[in-house]
Each structure stands twice: as structure tokens, then as C-alpha cells.
Amino acid sequence: NAGVTQTPKFQVLKTGQSMTLQCAQDMNHNSMYWYRQDPGMGLRLIYYSASEGTTDKGEVPNGYNVSRLNKREFSLRLESAAPSQTSVYFCASSEVPGNTIYFGEGSWLTVV
């Protein structure tokens, strides 16, 4: 009963380093999402993929890239990490509009 799985759970990066957050869902969902959570700001959408083969920008896409590798997997890449990208990142998925959106457990990223 895995649902949405994110890796890594914790990561510390130096400014300028790159890294990729991995996300996989086993519910055969069409849509996948990456959010970041910052204190007092709720969750903000970074990128989303409405279906396999498509990706679109959300509210805060600058500094990030995504890849919808297949229907199951949706990765988020930081090409040159900045301290402003210190945050908790959540991957999520849903089947169709109106259905429940399921979230992963989160990835805590610190950029020093």
C-alpha cells in the first residue's frame, strides 16, 4: 500500500549543487504534481503533469525542471540550488479532476 513515494526524505546541498527529487506512484494516476511548503505560505505548486508526456508550470517554477518519465514517475530537478530553495517538497498524484489527490510524505531540503 505504498501510494506516493518520494526520495530522498532529507538532503543538504551546498549552493550551486544540483540534485533530483524522485517521485513514484503505484495507483495508475494520470496527473502528478510537485509542491513546496514554506512556513506561513501554505503549499505552492511548482510544476504539474496532467498526463503522461505533458508538463506545465505552476505558481513558482523558476529554478526547477521536471520530467514525467512514464505514467508512474515524476522527478523534480534543481540545476543550481539556492538558499531560497530550502523547503519541504511534496509530490502528489490524482486520477481525474475531482478525485482525491494523494500526497507523499515529503522531502526536506536544506541549501547552505
* Chosen residue from 45, 52, 65, 73 binding other proteins by CB under 8 A: 45
Q: Using the rule CB under 8 A, is 25 a contact of other proteins?
A: no
Q: Does 44 bind other proteins (CB under 8 A)?
A: yes
Cβ atoms of 65 and 81 closer than 8 Å? no
Residue from 21, 74, 94, 109 in contact with other proteins (CB under 8 A): 94
**Per CB under 8 A, 33 contacts other proteins:** yes
Mapped onto helix, strand or coil, the DSSP state of residue 85 is helix
Tell me the number of residues near other proteins by CB under 8 A: 28
Cell of 19: 540534485
User: Contact, 104 vs 51, CB < 8 A?
Assistant: no
Question: Looking at beta carbons only, is 14 or 40 nearer to other proteins?
Answer: 40
Transcribe 3-26 into DSSP letters: -EEEE-SEEEE-TT--EEEEEEES
For residues 110, 105, 70, 34, the Cα torsion angle rounded to the nearest 10 degrees is -60
Q: How far is the CB of 66 from other proteins (least distance, A)?
A: 13
Using rule CB under 8 A, residue 71 touches other proteins: no
Contacts with other proteins by CB under 8 A lie at 4, 31, 33, 35, 40-45, 48, 50, 56, 58-59, 90, 94, 96-106
